[in-house]
Structure 1
Amino acid sequence: MVTASFGFLAAGTRSNWIRLRTLILLRWMAIAGQLTAITVADRVYDLDLPLGLCYLAVGASIIANLFSMFLFPENKRLTEVEALMTLMFDLSQLSFLVFITGGLTNPFALLVLAPVTISASALALRTTVVLGAVAILLVTMAAFFHWPLRFEGGGALEVPWLFEFGFWLAIVVGILFLGLYSHRVAMEIRSMSDALLATQMALAREQKLTDLGGVVAAAAHELGTPLATIKLVSAELMDELRDRPDLLEDAKLIRDQADRCRDILRDMGRVGKDDLHLRQAPLGAALREAAEPHMARGKAVLFQMLASDGSSARQPTILRRPEIIHGLRNLIQNAVDFSRSTVWVEAEWTDRTVTVRIIDDGEGFPPNVIGRIGDPFVRARRSDAPPSRRPEYEGMGLGLFIAKTLLERSGAELTFANATDPFLTPEERPERCGAVVEAVWAMTDLAAPANLSHGANQRIEM
């Protein structure tokens, strides 16, 4: 029945539900603070409090905590509705204490901010809106309807109405501000956490593919000699068995199957990267490898290699690290997705740095999001065009975030910009008029060591 009554919250159910033990611990802290405040007010300041009702309210929290501890397991996680009801109980209990102890003349009324802040940090926005609205309603009621604080002699503690109104306004503003602020920060933390998880998964997948390619390359290398021997021996047997047609067919079958094994290993071994010679590649070859999945998507991908003045004209040999290949692949994919017809991949190097630029002839980055490119889950992207412009997926900024994270992890510094003024007419725009992504590495971070290709291949541990 509870779930049915709060069905509008079901859509906000999160997979990272808050633990019941966390709320129980916070409630024990609140109980200790309430008992201390009641005791000090009664014994030290001689305030005439309705102790029976006060201890009744605190006792209700104690019973609720004991009930929760013994009825539910320690690893119990609350659903959205369960967490709302738990925080609603805490808010109601605190509001009742405020009601019988002076209303807004009681400075501890400020603590109604706590349940709202917890909700904003851990639960969905709609849950926080419901809890915040109830908190504002209860605080407003406490401002008009409450038992006044009285001293032992019977005199009432009175606060000027302006101070009381200011205290009410401060609490309401605090509920709104802290609720919005906590929810915003929590959302950014969760988005960053989800994006980093996706980055780790992408890198792990690329690493697994690399390792698998290494296994295949090693298998192709190690099996090449025995297969060649089998083929040679089968050819000799065919020469000796020309007068034995029944055995000659068996020898031909052995030779054909050896050729088939060779072809299979050759095809599989094309992705091998564990051979010491294949752990490095010229810069241009690495860029073409990164762009290869997007070369046949109907857009031209052009490469340009350029040595700066004073540097060697020979392309630098770089490490074929998975994060570099995967990061560049994501950037090239983004350029191909949003280009009209052409993408340029430029590489420039000096003795100290290597620079890679990826330019397209599309619309460029929107001015309102160019400062946030690289943040995860940026929804306002260059997707104003019809869906046919990007049929593969609906981008949310995660691909650029993964690319930026992986490339920066390899030592690159990335910048995002537009090649031209977006307000130019189509006739005024140059050929390279779209987005520009530039990645700059120090040569020491990217170049392969000179002795990497020497020595025996490493044994692959299975």
Structure 2
Amino acid sequence: MFPFLSAQRLDAVLQRLCQLRWGMLAGGLLLLALCHALSLQLPWWLLLQALATLAVLNLALPWLAARSVAVRRLLALGLAGDVLVLTELLAFSGGAANPLASLYLPPVLFGALLLPPRQAWALALLSLAAYALLFGWHLPWPLAGDDAAYAFRLHLVGMWLTFAVSVLLLTLFVSYLMTQLLRREAALAAAREAQLRNEQLVGLGVQAAAAAHALSTPLATLTLLCDEMLHEAGGPLRDDLLLMQRQLQLCREALEQLRAGSSGEGEVQPVCRQLAQQLQGWHSTRPQVTLIRHGLLQGGPAMRLDARFWPAFFNLLNNAADAAGSGTGDSCEVELTVAVEGGWLRLDIHNRQGSLSAAQLQQAGLAPLDSDKPAGLGIGVLLSHATLSQLGGELQLDNDPAGGVRACVRLPLPGQSG
């Protein structure tokens, strides 16, 4: 039995078996027409009655499924019906000597794959008993004349037909089950990666909380010292102290946001207005970076951006600025393109220098990597990727053929689908 098949997938398997059964019914009618053309004397009405019984069973299975009958019970009922109807057909057309007797194998294999062991064994024993019964209870195989060579050729043709049908059935159905297995394996691999990422984030959260607690006192001390020095300093030193004061204020705000959990939401307003407000604060920390805007520059869809989005967004901006060379103290440029695409808000952050290795592209967002400037990939990308995933968004990093690295951020727009 395939344990990976959930109830929903078992419903799909039941439907697939019903489709195969309709195909077998069509093949049975075609075979009866061929036998009639060969002038074989068969009990036509009895054979048609057996096929009609199988058709009624195939119609009843979806009807019972819609009335909450267990799917595995319906699978067992359908496969047992296949065995019994095949036995009836063979009994009216030569018994065990009929080459179509090999068609007992597909239902037995399907039962071994889909049913619990007890039911699978019961189906196998039913097939063995039915096949054995055909040796003693059957109508003779009628031929037009007593030509033994013709009878042998007809038997060989029947064996080939049986083999062809069995191969087609087994290949179709087993391939379908293997496809389901591969999909499940892919889903499990994605779940394991997500679990690993979540475990890393939990560890980072604990460390961040400890760091926030440890930094609060030194920041308060530095703020007091900076305020006292401002009363006495003048000239260029005063400008440096004012910059230091602003930087300390940003550190305190970051700790307060961390302490509050960063789970609040902003006001509903156009996206470009929110970007302008947030980027104004970011510019004060990176004055040497020139941000070049493209695409949507004003207005945009009105939405409420979660407060957790901004740290993730600024991590990517900082990575791009570092890759562009701001860490050296020189002025640099970073490009930001804002667009709305089919129910998604898209923000492309592009710097024209550096590149990511194949290993970094493969692991981006899945594990923290050593920052290798100018690529600028580190723990910030992991945090940004996890945050955007929680918000229903996506993050993709690519090397630009013209040079540099492009980070593509996509967020779903409320009330729309992409």
TM-score range, shorter chain: 0.3 to 0.5
Q: Under a length normalisation based on structure 2, what TM-score does the superposition of the two structures give?
A: 0.44
Higher relative contact order (CA 8 A, sep 6+): 1
Q: Under a length normalisation based on structure 1, what TM-score does the superposition of the two structures give?
A: 0.40
